[in-house]
């Protein structure tokens, strides 16, 4: 298969492109309550849901994923997305990555495609990305990454998953692509480093050098 892209940049959304921690935590808490699960104790317990795959963490809590995602779809239109702020330093970097000959930019997320498209449009970032794979497509980010690689024929060594949690790093590595962990997201540098990313970066500009 001939690759359509020289390099494939697959971006996580929450924490990487936008600062949505409080809104996402609020939404998850609502969904847990809706399906009759105990509430989260604190912020650390919320963040621990992303030490591995988020939906696997839900299954470990004996959550019915169909009921959980149904609750998520119910609440999505009522959330105040204007409380979310983009990482403004990322916009010029996305522009350079997009215009660099042969690159493809996509989003792979545990969030809903509806929410992602809405937030991208609010902040004028929607034109950077060719495709969005949210939870509606597959729960596993590993599977979504493999799907993207297979669809576009890009070599795994030329495919990068840009992410902000240790669980994302682990899924990228299992998919056989380069894991790029960013320190401006949800998990701190030390937590990310333990997951063994291929790159650990502190600023968006560093994406241009990988």
46-61 pLDDT, tens digit per residue, is 999 999 999 999 999 9
pLDDT score at 107: 98
Quick one: residue 53, left, alpha or beta (phi over 0 = left, psi -120 to 50 = alpha)? beta
Distance of CA 53 to the CA centre of its chain: 11
pLDDT tens digits, one per residue of 128-142: 999 999 999 989 999
H runs (alpha helix) in the chain: 21-34, 43-48, 54-60, 65-75, 90-99, 113-122, 141-152, 166-175, 189-194
Banded pLDDT at 118 (limits 50, 70, 90): very high
pLDDT score at 1: 53
Arithmetic mean of pLDDT, 11-18: 97
């Amino acid at each position: 298969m001939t690759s359509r892209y020289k390099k494939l940049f697959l971006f996580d959304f929450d924490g990487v492109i936008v600062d949505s921690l409080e809104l996402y935590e609020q939404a998850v808490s609502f969904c847990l309550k809706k399906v009759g699960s105990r509430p989260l104790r604190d912020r650390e317990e919320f963040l621990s849901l992303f030490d591995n795959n988020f939906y696997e963490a839900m299954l470990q809590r004996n959550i019915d994923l169909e009921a959980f995602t149904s609750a998520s779809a119910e609440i999505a239109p009522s959330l105040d997305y204007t409380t979310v702020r983009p990482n403004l330093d990322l916009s010029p970097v996305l522009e350079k990555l997009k215009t660099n000959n042969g690159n493809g930019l996509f989003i792979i997320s545990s969030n809903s495609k509806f929410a992602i498209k809405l937030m991208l449009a609010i902040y004028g970032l929607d034109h950077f990305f060719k495709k969005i794979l949210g939870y509606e497509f597959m729960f596993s980010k590993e599977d979504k990454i493999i799907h993207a690689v297979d669809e576009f024929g890009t070599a795994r060594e030329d495919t990068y998953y840009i992410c902000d949690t240790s669980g994302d790093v682990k899924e990228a590595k299992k998919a056989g692509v380069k894991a790029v962990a960013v320190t401006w997201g949800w998990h701190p540098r030390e937590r990310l480093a333990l997951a063994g990313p291929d790159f650990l970066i502190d600023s968006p500009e560093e994406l241009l050098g990988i």
